[in-house]
Structure 1
Amino acid sequence: MKNSKLSIVMASVLSLSVMLAACGGGGGSPTSAGTAGGSNASGSEPQKTVTVFQFKTEIVEGLNELKAAFEQDYPNIKLDIQTVGGGADYDAALKAKFASGAAPDIFSNNGYASLDMWEEKLEDLSDQPWVNDLVQLAAGAITKENRVYGLPLDLEGFGYVYNKDLFAKAGIAELPMTYSALEEAAKKLQAAGITPFANAYQEWWLVGSQGISVAFSNQDNADEFIAGLNDGTASMIGNKHFEDWARLMQLTLDYGNKNPLTTDYNTQVTMFANGEAAMMQEGNWAQTMIDGISPNLNIGMLPMPLNDDAARTGKVTIGVPVNLVVNKDSAAKEEAKTFLNWLVTSDIGKEYIVKKFKFIPAMTTIQATAEDVGPIAADLMNYIEKGDIFPHHAGKYPDGVAQEFGSAIQHFLAGQSDVPTWQKNMQAAWDKLK
């Protein structure tokens, strides 16, 4: 998306920004740029406030603990951490903050198309000391013309999280790496009195951002296919891999929980953690919630296979869920860089990344054991080591398409459209927003 289009969108949400400011949701440039009303213990230097606007709700508690540790190390810098859940709500709130003049100093960015859209607002971080420590998988989404514009917070992966003990109870000895094998596993689980899938299809992001990425990955060349969607030479209509993805979704419906379209993330994870279902489409971000319900659950990760070619489809999806970027117009941008560097170099920052957040590190200088990150991430790291991974393509969708995808997919899952109509709706969403 062109930056001029971003300006139009930002202007259109100005009224929302006024409402956010009235509710105390501000904290951007006016506060950050000046003195925060105090000085350090010696009174020699004024304090500055760095506003961090991010969307990973599951790490808020840990971020606040890190805030206290950072402010102890840097008494002249105060952090104002603000969180809005990911997706449309976050995107609208971020645009509103910029439109109102309350832009944050640090904010979340998905990279790829989002990098293109926000590039004119981003500080070039290529000279930061952590840049050379980025793992190869992490750098691509936030790098443009050899310039690094953000700090990848971690690597995340998704597929079907599965309960190893329930698989054993159903007599599933070989892990399903193809569609037919997954269908057979579902039948065995159901025959053993076990619900195969816990589906949280109320969550548009689960299908519209994450799940559908697998249909892109199974193309002969995903990036060429996306380029073709943008220039009109490719289409989702009649595409076999999208048809296969719809078939996989139907399988999960046929062997899944009741009322999947009114089942949210928390309910899904609770069902799975309580042993009420053997599989769920999720990733390593769910580990902390699972641990809070059923510590030491014997679990692992499976692909979302679309066909019976295991070499092609028997892979999990890995990507960077969030890059922390710096507002280049912030008067506190040097302090913002100080915090980002501290986050990935301090002992406590590195410890929280792997042990508290259960993240797969995006830095070669941060080490993680299976005990640190939990069994889901440990399994994902094994897939990474073997090279059995897909990139996450959602960051390459046009702005707003993931939400449109989610709606179209939910209509299909509700039986309100057949596969050809669903494909037409998906293509129409892309064409409208590209």
Structure 2
Amino acid sequence: GISELPDTFEELQDACEKLEAIGVTPFGIPGGLTARLAHSFNVALGHHDDPTAFIQQLRSGEATCADDEAFNQWADFFEYTIQHSTDDVLTCDDDAIYTLFATEQVAMIQAGSWCESALKEINPDLNIGIIPMSINNNEDENFIAGDAADGFSIAENENTELSKELVAYWALSDTGVNIFKEYQMIPAMSNCKYDASELGQILEEADQYFKNGEYFGWYWYAFPDLTADLQFGAIMQSYISGSIDKQEMLDQFDLKIAELEAKSQQ
């Protein structure tokens, strides 16, 4: 009974009601993986005009997750997905949700193009696509999160020249360019031509979002600790377990950010 893909939170809720009416669980969530949970946390960051600048405000104490509109919308969305998921969220890893999804026991999972080959191994006939994680009712704000397969060099590093050679190999050699096709990735290098239809169903759809500018990137790298995503994910696990409520989850994000910032100044 779902004729169009949901673009807003209300439309998503309506779709979930229809799924549950025919005995399908809406969501499969890999709650056992803190990094995957942080992919959801990243959506709240992406709903800001300048996510990196917002993170700087969080780090300086000028802004808080608890008082931020996007984070509160995201928290409501996250709460809803947990309420309409399988009962074993905290013990689910990628393999578990891939199996649930590929056998059509759940309708939606939070994942990316990396999962398509695993899903098709379980069910070669699976018909899949991609939609934004819609945390509010403004469809113009609900984009997908993701990026192209990119290579980068760190300036003033003892291995900078070597890393430049590697990036050049990816971008300029026939073998390097074919790596993106072999591993089914959209290349970031503009000279690397690709056919999205050859990269699987997920990336074929995602490519249209990218070309329309309807996407945002990954932002936790702007925090002073490269394990920040894992630490945010651990707080989300505490919420899933019921040891903290939704407001306490947001408050603990703020405390964790302050803790990470203080450590970076030592």
Structure-2 residue corresponding to 1:273: 102
Structure-1 residue corresponding to 2:258: 431
Structure-1 residue corresponding to 2:73: 244
The answer as to 2:174 corresponding to 1:347 is: yes
Structure-1 residue corresponding to 2:264: none
Alpha-carbon distance in structure 1 between the residues aligned to 2:21 and 2:251: 37
Change (3 A) 1:420 1:315: same
Q: Does the CA contact (< 8 Å) of 1:219 and 1:225 recur in 2?
A: yes
- Give how far 1:296 is off: 4.6
TM-score normalised by the chain length of structure 1? 0.56
Q: Does the CA contact (< 8 Å) of 1:238 and 1:420 recur in 2?
A: no
Alpha-carbon distance in structure 1 between the residues aligned to 2:233 and 2:219: 15
Structure-1 residue corresponding to 2:63: 234
Alpha-carbon distance in structure 2 between the residues aligned to 1:337 and 1:401: 28
Q: 2:175 is matched by which residue type in structure 1?
A: I
Which ranges in structure 1 are unaligned for 5 or more consecutive residues? 1-170
Structure-2 residue corresponding to 1:364: 190
Change (3 A) 1:352 1:267: same
Q: Secondary structure at the match of 2:130?
A: strand
Q: 2:250 is matched by which residue type in structure 1?
A: Q
Structure-2 residue corresponding to 1:256: 85
Q: Does the CA contact (< 8 Å) of 1:287 and 1:358 recur in 2?
A: no
- Give how far 1:273 is off: 1.8
Alpha-carbon distance in structure 1 between the residues aligned to 2:151 and 2:175: 20
Percent of counterpart pairs with the same letter? 27
Q: Does the CA contact (< 8 Å) of 1:343 and 1:350 recur in 2?
A: yes
193, 201, 217: which one pairs with 2:23? 193
Q: Secondary structure at the match of 1:301?
A: coil
Change (3 A) 1:336 1:247: closer
The answer as to 2:208 corresponding to 1:378 is: no
Higher Cα radius of gyration: 1
- Give how far 1:337 is off: 4.3
Change (3 A) 1:277 1:228: same
227, 238, 242: which one pairs with 1:411? 238
Structure-2 residue corresponding to 1:394: 220
1:115-264 paired onto structure 2 within 5 Å: 171-208=1-38, 210-264=39-93
Alpha-carbon displacement from aligned partner over 1:169-191 (angstroms, at most 9, x marks no partner): xx111110110111111111111
Q: Does the CA contact (< 8 Å) of 1:269 and 1:289 recur in 2?
A: yes
1:62-141 paired onto structure 2 within 5 Å: none
Alpha-carbon displacement from aligned partner over 1:289-343 (angstroms, at most 9, x marks no partner): 223222352111000111111112x21112357645479425xx75654444223
Change (3 A) 1:181 1:336: closer
Alpha-carbon displacement from aligned partner over 1:115-139 (angstroms, at most 9, x marks no partner): xxxxxxxxxxxxxxxxxxxxxxxxx
TM-score normalised by the chain length of structure 2? 0.89
1:6-45 paired onto structure 2 within 5 Å: none
Q: Secondary structure at the match of 2:106?
A: coil
Structure 1 or 2: more strand by fraction: 1
Change (3 A) 1:325 1:334: closer
RMSD: 2.1
Structure-2 residue corresponding to 1:316: 144
Structure number with greater CO (CA < 8 Å, separation at least 6) is 2
